[in-house]
Amino acid sequence: MNLSDHLPRRIGSFEILREIGQGAMGKVYLGNGSMGKVAIKVLKKNIKASLKAEERFKREMKILSQMDHPHIIKIYEVGEDSATLYYAMEYIDGMTLKEKLYQKKFTIKEALLIILQIARGLAHAHELDIIHRDLKPANIMLNQEEKVKVTDFGLAKELSDDSGLTRPGGMVGSPKYMSPEQLEGLGADFQSDIYSLGVIFFELLTGRYPYEGDGVGMIYAQILDRKVPSAKKWNPSIPFEVERICRKAMAKDKTKRYSRIQEMIRDLENALEGKSKSSTQLDYLSQKKSFPIWNGIAIFFIVILTTFLTYYFFQNPL
């Protein structure tokens, strides 16, 4: 069943097949054109504060038009049809990461592969001075092969943008994935995106959201004040290095968080290859097997040596 009673026959050069979704600002239709199936996002006409919404919609079109990356949704066409703003983007035959999280439990390797793809897409945006500001599982698309596309740049912002669409002290984004500084009204930057990515990583590794609470206020309080929870508590099989990456991305103190997404990507790549931060030549399995053996041998010889010296000095006092 369509989400709308009225389905336009065409938008721009595209034949409209059906409605596939809608959000706060717009509706999304499945269309067909010269490049095959596309997703077409149109701005709703009856939303409140329509002038500001129109400016946000235009900003999203502009931002998407600047980016070209395998892990960011690709835009094909922007335009206006019967006074309705729209843009056509690639259609992903799949589901959101939010939906996928309800369906399956990810392995450590799958979690690393997915978060690494998101991080690479995010790095491309950051290189263009673009902050996503609303990174969450619902804004990540996975195709049938679990290839990632970062979507929904409706709240994204360029560092050079002084349009005033976000007033000083205002908050934009989804509260559960906002960084502590965003919740405190201090605004968002690249590190805020990294925090949101860390929360998504936690969910991929454990199958659950890191904080618990009955109300939004309780969640806020935990994001601001509670120590970053341990993913290993919920999934003991997580390697220590993988948990370290997740905890660093979610650090409440920005000075302890990754300062650049490229740093996190490097650590994720090393983790995927089985390399640790402290010793890049040892994978997790060899660390697990070799260190306890050598530690045991060392302790054995220390005990023997201590016993011998104690006996020697007891028999031969000074």
Question: In this structure, what token pair is assigned to residue 288?
Answer: 């697990």
Exactly one of 68, 93, 134, 225 is catalytic; which is it? 134
243 and 214 inside one domain: yes
The Cα 141–Cα 56 span in angstroms is 21
83 and 53 inside one domain: yes
Residue 221 has pLDDT above 50, yes or no: yes
Residue 44 has pLDDT above 50, yes or no: yes
277 inside domain: no
User: At residue 124, what are phi and psi to the nearest 5 degrees?
Assistant: -60, -45
pLDDT range class, residue 31, cuts 50, 70, 90: very high
pLDDT range class, residue 21, cuts 50, 70, 90: confident
Contacts of 174 (CB under 8 A, 6+ apart): 134, 136, 138
Residue 284 has pLDDT above 60, yes or no: no
164 and 245 inside one domain: yes
Contacts of 287 (CB under 8 A, 6+ apart): 276, 279
The alpha helices in 177-283, defined as continuous H runs, are 180-183, 190-206, 216-225, 240-249, 261-272
Tokens 């269309």 correspond to what residue?
31
131 and 145 inside one domain: yes
140 and 259 inside one domain: yes
Q: Mean of the per-residue pLDDT values for the chain?
A: 84
Query: Domain containing 109: what range?
Result: 95-272
Answer yes or no: 93 catalytic. Answer: no
% helix / strand / coil in the chain, to the nearest 5? 45, 20, 40
Question: In this structure, what token pair is assigned to residue 54?
Answer: 């129109």
pLDDT range class, residue 69, cuts 50, 70, 90: very high
52 and 185 inside one domain: no
202 and 150 inside one domain: yes
Q: Which residue has the higher pLDDT, 82 or 111?
A: 111
